[in-house]
């Protein structure tokens, strides 16, 4: 079943929120940050059916739009790795205090772990790579990798936040992401898209 991935730039530091959808019209919302008007408009215009929110990691700029999305679609579960639960509920861990805010989410949570991922009509894989955060997740759907702040075009995620570890991030990228096919499209948490092949050739951190 072929998928489509639509990118929306959201929130205070231009986070990429993604809609992953297929011909069933079901969709997954990945990393909703604040200000989701364009996302809601796209869902409505394309007659999409949201089935879940996926969180790559729990920093504030990737979770700040959860309440906004849940208000519109109260049935939606939020999927996040268990080692990142505290980042949803604690402003010190999700770093929202850096903006002088106290963001937390205490609603329904579903655990995800490394390996096969099935939600609604979607099947894929979850790849867990600590380093930018305690248990950052990348989601592989067919030949598209939505990877949060693990990998960027020509760069990698910061490792100077609490729970960060540079060596773990590099090792995880090399062992789990760089083994993917060159033509896999990489959809990062900020900036534009790239491919595994391009990063294998040109990313100085790898």
Average predicted confidence (pLDDT) for the chain: 96
- Count of domains observed in the chain: 1
**Is this prediction's pTM over 0.85?**
yes
**Residue 45 maps to which CATH number?**
3.60.15.10
Indicate the pairing of strand 26-30 with strand 49-54: parallel
pLDDT band at 101 (very low <50, low <70, confident <90, very high): confident
CA dist 165 → 112, 142, 159 (Å): 21, 29, 5
The answer to whether residue 113 scores a pLDDT higher than 80 is yes
The per-residue pLDDT for 174 is 97
The answer to whether residue 50 scores a pLDDT higher than 90 is yes
How many other β-carbons are positioned within 10 Å of the β-carbon of residue 160?
A: 7
pLDDT band at 184 (very low <50, low <70, confident <90, very high): very high
Cα 14 to Cα 26: distance, rounded to the nearest angstrom: 25
pLDDT digits (tens, 9 = 90+) for 13-24: 999 999 999 999
E strand intervals along 11-136: 15-22, 26-30, 49-54, 78-81, 109-112, 115-119, 122-128
Which domain, by its residues, includes 179? Answer: 3-202
pLDDT digits (tens, 9 = 90+) for 65-100: 999 999 999 999 999 999 999 999 999 998 998 888
């Amino acid at each position: 079943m072929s998928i489509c991935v639509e990118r929306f730039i959201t929130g205070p530091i231009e986070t990429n929120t993604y809609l992953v959808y297929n011909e069933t019209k079901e969709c997954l919302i990945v990393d909703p940050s604040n200000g989701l008007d364009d996302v809601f408009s796209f869902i409505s215009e394309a007659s999409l059916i949201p089935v879940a929110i996926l969180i790559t990691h729990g920093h504030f700029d990737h979770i700040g739009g959860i309440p906004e999305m849940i208000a519109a679609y109260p049935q939606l579960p939020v999927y996040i790795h268990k080692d990142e639960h505290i980042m949803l509920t604690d402003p010190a861990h999700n770093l929202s205090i850096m903006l002088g805010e106290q963001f937390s989410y205490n609603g329904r949570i579903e655990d995800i772990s490394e390996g096969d991922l099935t939600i609604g009509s979607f099947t894929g894989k979850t790849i867990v790579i600590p380093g930018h955060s305690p248990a950052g997740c990348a989601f592989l759907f067919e030949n598209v990798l939505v990877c949060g702040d693990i990998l960027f075009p020509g760069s990698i995620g910061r490792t100077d936040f609490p729970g960060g570890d540079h060596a773990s991030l590099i090792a995880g990228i090399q062992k789990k992401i760089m083994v993917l096919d060159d033509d896999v499209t990489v959809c990062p948490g900020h900036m534009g898209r790239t491919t595994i092949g391009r990063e294998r050739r040109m990313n100085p951190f790898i």
